[in-house]
Structure 1
Amino acid sequence: MRGYKAYALGLGILFTLFVVVEYYRPKPIDWRQTFSNKDKIPYGTYVLFELLPDLFKHEPVSSVRLPVVNQVEVQTDSAAQPVNYLFVNSSFRVDSLELEALLEFVQKGNNAFISARRFPRLLQDTLGFDVGYSAKQQQDSIELLFTHPQLPKPAPFKYAWEKASETIALDSANTKAIVLGKNSAGDTNYVQIPFGKGNFYLSSVPLAFTNYHVINPRQDKYAALALSHLPVQPVWWDEYQKQGAEGSTSVFRVLLSHDALAWAYYVTLGSLLLFVLFESKRTQRIIPVLEKPRNTTLEFVRVIGNLYFNSRDHQSIAEKKIAYFLEYLRLHYHEQTNVLDEELQQKIARKAGVKTEEISQLFQLINFIRATDGLEEETLWQLNKQLERFYRQTSR
């Protein structure tokens, strides 16, 4: 018992030291591209979301956690004030039903701002554009600039090549589209496409709207200037494609989103697993050793043979051999053996391929043994000889 307490105390001290070290050690930078307004990591959008009330003065800003189909139902009233619906994500994902609702929503006079690297093919075909990659050969960096004629020409914004290499190519028949931004290679990356009474604002550089670039002194004005093209009106900021529906998070997702809680959860699971392993070894019953089964067939045959040999009951042995022979005829040749007449002899001889004379001699010997009360050893030997000859001939 004393050894067990010492072991438990040592384990508790090690666990406490581990928790303290993990709590105070420097946290590594999380470079995941979440684009979520709750994340303060480099590629979250917490800073931009907090700045939206300053960009759209005196207008409400709402975080949306509903699918597009459900959210746009709020605007069913034709007298409702138009809204700016903002999407910032690595990939803009909507199905055909959601896209149809979004197109109808914009057609009524609302605006949809979508910044993503990938767009649904159906949306590209509907609005007349395509997404590709910049043809510039330089692989280290690229500059972004705005081309709207009414916007003052700011200095170009320099970005790493891999963060701003996606481009938007407009169809030649799309004459209503307005190019709002390009890169230093001359490729378009920001456009305005009128649709009905509203507009689609499409950007292929979503990383430019993340915390890392919004707080960068050399790039902090790009997101504000890009959103300044939209009219000042209420804003919906989509979080459904990044966080899911409201209330869909489970307790495990909350635990795993914090390092300290996640480590506590993993340590608890590990401790329970170790407890089960060690405790199962202590309480498991000993499995008995079973000897390998022995083949006692030969011993059985030897015992039965000795029994009949010592008793000298030749009549009983002969009757058993005859019964086995008749059963053999019934199973293999499907004939009734109640009467051993000449007709049965002919059928057995024809089916077994044995001479009729030999079958006749065997049947005569069987009838003789059945009619005799006492049987000599020589007669039993003759019966056995004829039966063995029959079996050999029929087994060929």
Structure 2
Amino acid sequence: MKGYRRYIALIGLLFVALVLLEYFRPKPVDWSQTFSREDKIPYGTYALYELLPDLFPGQPVQLVREPAYNVLQDSTLNGNYVFITKYFEADSLDTNLLLDFVQRGNQVFIAADEFSTYLRDTLHFSTVYLNTTNPDSTDFSFTSQSDRQVYTFPPNSYMRVLRVEEQHDHEALGRNKAGQLTFMRVPFGEGYFYINTVPLAFSNYQLLTLNQSGYAATALSHLPVQPVIWDDYQNLGREEDQSVFRVLMQHEPLTWAYYLSLIGLVLFLLFKSKRTQRIIPVMEPPRNTTLDFVKAIGSLYFNHGSHKNIAEKKIAYFLEHLRLHYHLATHTLDEELRERVKVKSGADAALVDQIFGLIQSIHQSSALSDQTLLMLNTYLEDFYSQTSIRPKANV
């Protein structure tokens, strides 16, 4: 018992040391593009969310964790609906209520890499993926600014630009240095949609590390000073979806502790079961005597010199094989049957001719030699191997 206590104490000390090591070691930078207002990592939007009262003075900011369809059930809701996300996902129901919301004179601001098909089709635009290291693709400015201040993104960023269908009154608000559209306003009813393909411009990294908060402030300044509805559903889902396991997986130390606990439990069960489980008697499986029976019958025929009988049985089994697998009528062994076997089985034509020729010779003979029986068996085995359809048992 004392030996067990030593091992348990040692395992406990190692576990505590590992947890402390994981807790105090320098944490690597998390570059996940969450765009959540809760995250202070480089690509969260905590800083921008805190600046909203300054950008929209005197206006309330409502945080929502529900689909747009649920939020906009209240038809009296007015203001600016803001989405900052990587993938803007909206089904037909969400899109229809957003369209009604804008049509009543409100604004929807969406900054994303990709947009739902329903929204793109309705507003007549698409996005183009730029896989380029051209610095002109990562320098941005606003067309509405007289001085055209340039905002620079980190190099080697993978960007998207907007492509607008012709003959539509979309207003360009921002472009990259290469002249490609990245920010536009789309009128719909009494209000506007603001579409932006640079969501990273609204992240903590852009606002704090690169000290370029002017881009986000200028982009949002196109919206009127009205109440703000800030969507975090696209980034985090419903609030009630948060589970214990999801929280554990979001923090690396908790994740390690969870996995180590599981491993320790499994090891305990394994070693404990080894000690307490009684010996299970070895049960011999029932012996399959079918093969022995077949060998005995074959030896009987062979020892009595019944080569003709054995050959007839192998031929009958071969014809049954043709009927079962290739659905051929075998009552007449003529040239037509021979050609059908060649086509349907895919076997070598010469081999099929040899088999049928040997079958006819056997039918006409009254007795067989060992060599003829062996030749028949070889031809049939070659046929089964070439067609990849072997019989379950050979007599």
Q: For residue 171 of structure 1, what is the amino acid of its counterpart?
A: E
Q: For residue 239 of structure 1, what is the amino acid of its counterpart?
A: D
Distance verdict in 2 for CA 1:164–1:112, change over 3 Å: farther
Aligned equivalent of 1:234: 227
Q: Give deviations 1:105-146, integer Å, cap 9, x for gaps.
A: 110111000011111222122112221135977268621000
Deviation at 1:249, TM superposition (A): 0.9
Contact 2:136–2:177 (CA under 8 A) maintained in structure 1? no
Q: For residue 254 of structure 2, what is the amino acid of its counterpart?
A: L
Matched, 1:153 2:144: no
For residues 288 and 12 of structure 2, the distance between their equivalents in structure 1, rounded to whole angstroms, comes to 58
Deviation at 1:66, TM superposition (A): 1.0
**Matched position secondary structure for 1:221:** helix
Aligned equivalent of 2:352: none
Deviation at 1:292, TM superposition (A): 7.9
List, as ranges, runs of 4+ consecutive aligned residues in structure 1 with deviation greater than 6 Å.
291-296
For residues 88 and 136 of structure 2, the distance between their equivalents in structure 1, rounded to whole angstroms, comes to 27
Q: For residue 234 of structure 1, what is the amino acid of its counterpart?
A: P
Aligned equivalent of 2:258: 265
For residues 294 and 155 of structure 1, the distance between their equivalents in structure 2, rounded to whole angstroms, comes to 87
Distance verdict in 2 for CA 1:280–1:56, change over 3 Å: same
Matched, 1:207 2:200: yes
Matched, 1:129 2:125: yes
For residues 94 and 26 of structure 1, the distance between their equivalents in structure 2, rounded to whole angstroms, comes to 39
Aligned equivalent of 2:54: 54
For residues 182 and 160 of structure 2, the distance between their equivalents in structure 1, rounded to whole angstroms, comes to 7
Deviation at 1:84, TM superposition (A): 0.3
Deviation at 1:295, TM superposition (A): 11
Deviation at 1:219, TM superposition (A): 2.2
For residues 262 and 285 of structure 2, the distance between their equivalents in structure 1, rounded to whole angstroms, comes to 42
Matched, 1:109 2:105: yes
Aligned equivalent of 1:166: 160
Aligned equivalent of 1:340: none
For residues 294 and 236 of structure 1, the distance between their equivalents in structure 2, rounded to whole angstroms, comes to 75
Q: For residue 9 of structure 1, what is the amino acid of its counterpart?
A: A
Distance verdict in 2 for CA 1:137–1:33, change over 3 Å: closer
Aligned equivalent of 1:311: none
For residues 164 and 215 of structure 2, the distance between their equivalents in structure 1, rounded to whole angstroms, comes to 22
For residues 289 and 72 of structure 1, the distance between their equivalents in structure 2, rounded to whole angstroms, comes to 68
For residues 166 and 287 of structure 2, the distance between their equivalents in structure 1, rounded to whole angstroms, comes to 89
Contact 2:133–2:157 (CA under 8 A) maintained in structure 1? no
> How many residues end up aligned between the 2 structures?
289
Residue of 280, 284, 308 corresponding to 1:287: 280
Deviation at 1:100, TM superposition (A): 0.7
What is the root-mean-square deviation in Å for CA atoms of aligned residues? 2.3
For residues 235 and 261 of structure 1, the distance between their equivalents in structure 2, rounded to whole angstroms, comes to 35
Distance verdict in 2 for CA 1:23–1:198, change over 3 Å: same
For residues 27 and 231 of structure 1, the distance between their equivalents in structure 2, rounded to whole angstroms, comes to 41
**Matched position secondary structure for 1:247:** helix
Matched, 1:98 2:94: yes
Distance verdict in 2 for CA 1:292–1:84, change over 3 Å: closer
Q: Give deviations 1:204-226, integer Å, cap 9, x for gaps.
A: 11111111111134522111111
Distance verdict in 2 for CA 1:2–1:56, change over 3 Å: same
Residue of 244, 247, 253 corresponding to 2:240: 247
* TM-score when normalising by structure 2: 0.69
Distance verdict in 2 for CA 1:6–1:216, change over 3 Å: closer
- Unaligned segments of structure 1, at least 5 residues: 297-396
Q: For residue 165 of structure 2, what is the amino acid of its counterpart?
A: D
Q: For residue 145 of structure 1, what is the amino acid of its counterpart?
A: S
Q: For residue 56 of structure 2, what is the amino acid of its counterpart?
A: F
For residues 204 and 131 of structure 2, the distance between their equivalents in structure 1, rounded to whole angstroms, comes to 27
* TM-score when normalising by structure 1: 0.69
Aligned equivalent of 1:337: none
Contact 1:108–1:198 (CA under 8 A) maintained in structure 2? yes
Contact 1:208–1:214 (CA under 8 A) maintained in structure 2? yes
Q: Give deviations 1:33-65, integer Å, cap 9, x for gaps.
A: 111111111111111111111111110111111
Deviation at 1:246, TM superposition (A): 2.1
Contact 1:60–1:234 (CA under 8 A) maintained in structure 2? yes
Deviation at 1:20, TM superposition (A): 1.2
Aligned equivalent of 2:184: 191
Distance verdict in 2 for CA 1:161–1:130, change over 3 Å: farther
Deviation at 1:178, TM superposition (A): 1.2
Aligned equivalent of 1:335: none
Distance verdict in 2 for CA 1:253–1:45, change over 3 Å: same
Contact 2:133–2:155 (CA under 8 A) maintained in structure 1? no
- Unaligned segments of structure 2, at least 5 residues: 290-395
Contact 1:117–1:205 (CA under 8 A) maintained in structure 2? yes
Q: For residue 222 of structure 1, what is the amino acid of its counterpart?
A: Y
Aligned equivalent of 1:180: 173
Contact 1:146–1:153 (CA under 8 A) maintained in structure 2? no
